[in-house]
């Protein structure tokens, strides 16, 4: 009896993954289907970037409590009616008023306090450069591994040129790990942007068509919490993409792929051994 094909994820299901909204079992089922849906993986990566860009837009202001005077203004003369319709109506109006007056509020006497809180929030964000590096690695994996014709910029047939080029751009002698013994051959690599300069991605593929990517580059040393010290392996699923991550002398490495955790761990250990 033939197995029924897994249906593609709908836009609503991809949105649920982006927002992380829903029961844990439902989200786990969606992530399992995502592994077999390259088109949905690409959409998920793009929508996550859009969501994060929107969150960064005056994010420090939206995190603040509504000023008492503004809250009072939105509530004055508005009798409370026990209806869902009215709740949504006034709730939406309050949000609209808050957004409309947000820019003006920044210029009033509350600015020093807002600035201090914003600086604190920014410091907390900068204290997580490794997580940001891993997020970027996951996005790069989701965007490029489904590609059929152009998965890499430089193919494995030009490996010497690829290594020389990326070493020059990243300012560090690079080496492509040989994973043939583990059943994965080099497809090629590409240059990518990062918050601390250039990053590189090497892509590997096995006989079954499964792909893994090695994403590497310098971390942002101007951010708080960044150290040149080596870190141990850390497993992180980024948007449903299993990844192993580590740091060695200020350089981050992330190996990502839709593989069992134990298999991916062995590959990561082999990459670490060779590099």
The DSSP result for 132-186, as a single string, is HHHHHHHHHHHHHTT-SS-S-SEEGGGHHHHHHHHHHHHTS-------GGGTEEE
Q: Examine residue 163 and state whether it is found in any structural domain, yes or no.
A: yes
Q: Examine residue 8 and state whether it is found in any structural domain, yes or no.
A: no
pLDDT in tens, 155-205: 999 999 999 999 999 999 999 999 999 999 999 999 998 877 899 999 999
Q: Burial, 257: exposed, middle or buried (Cβ in 10 Å; 0-12, 13-18, 19+)?
A: buried
Contact predicate 241/44, CB 8 Å: no
Q: Is residue 237 scored above 50 in pLDDT? A: yes
Q: Examine residue 85 and state whether it is found in any structural domain, yes or no.
A: no
Q: Examine residue 261 and state whether it is found in any structural domain, yes or no.
A: yes
- Nearest CA among 248, 266, 272, 275 for reference residue 184: 266
Q: Examine residue 229 and state whether it is found in any structural domain, yes or no.
A: yes
Computed on alpha carbons and rounded to an integer, the radius of gyration of the chain in Å comes to 23
State percent of the chain over pLDDT 90.
36
Q: Examine residue 43 and state whether it is found in any structural domain, yes or no.
A: no
Pair of tokens at residue 221: 């040393």
Query: How many helical (H) and strand (E) elements, i.e. helices and strands, does the chain have?
Result: 10, 7
Residue partners of 158: CB distance under 8 A and separation at least 6: 188
Which CATH number does the domain housing residue 175 bear? 3.30.200.100
* Alpha helices (runs of H) in 192-260, residue ranges in sequence order: none
Q: How would residue 223 be classed by pLDDT, with cut points 50, 70 and 90? A: low
Give the distance, in angstroms, between the CA of residue 78 and the centroid of all CA atoms in the same chain.
43
Helix, coil or strand: residue 187: strand
Over the chain, what is the mean pLDDT?
Answer: 76
Look-up of token digits 């850390």: 234
Distance of alpha carbon 130 from alpha carbon 196, whole angstroms: 12
> Domain total for the chain?
1
Helix, coil or strand: residue 216: strand
Structural domain harbouring 170: 129-274
Q: Examine residue 11 and state whether it is found in any structural domain, yes or no.
A: no
pLDDT in tens, 1-53: 555 667 888 888 888 888 777 787 888 888 888 888 878 887 787 777 766 65
Q: Examine residue 134 and state whether it is found in any structural domain, yes or no.
A: yes
């Amino acid at each position: 009896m033939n197995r029924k094909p897994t249906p593609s994820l709908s836009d609503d299901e991809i949105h649920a993954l982006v927002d992380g909204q829903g029961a844990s079992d439902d989200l786990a089922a969606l992530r399992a289907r995502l592994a077999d849906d390259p088109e949905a993986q690409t959409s998920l990566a793009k929508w996550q970037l859009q969501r994060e860009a929107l969150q960064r837009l005056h994010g420090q202001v939206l995190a603040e409590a509504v000023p008492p005077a503004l809250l009072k203004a939105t509530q004055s003369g508005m009798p409370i009616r026990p209806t869902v319709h009215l709740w949504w109506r006034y709730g939406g109006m309050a949000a609209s008023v808050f957004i409309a007056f947000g820019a003006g509020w920044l210029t009033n006497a509350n600015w020093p306090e807002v600035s201090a809180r914003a600086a604190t929030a920014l410091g907390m964000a900068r204290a997580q450069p490794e997580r940001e590096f891993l997020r970027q690695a996951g996005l790069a994996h989701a965007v490029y591994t489904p590609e059929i014709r152009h998965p890499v910029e430089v193919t494995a047939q030009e490996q010497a040129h690829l290594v020389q080029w990326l070493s020059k751009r990243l300012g560090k002698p690079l080496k492509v790990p040989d994973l043939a013994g583990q059943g994965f051959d080099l497809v090629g690599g590409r240059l990518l942007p990062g918050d601390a300069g250039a990053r590189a991605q090497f892509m590997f593929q096995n006989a079954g068509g499964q792909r893994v990517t090695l994403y590497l580059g310098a971390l942002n040393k101007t951010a708080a919490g960044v150290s040149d010290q080596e870190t141990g392996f850390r497993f992180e699923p980024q948007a449903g993409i299993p990844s192993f991550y580590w740091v060695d002398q200020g350089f981050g490495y992330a190996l990502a792929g839709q593989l069992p955790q134990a298999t991916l761990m062995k590959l990561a250990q082999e990459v670490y051994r060779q590099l």
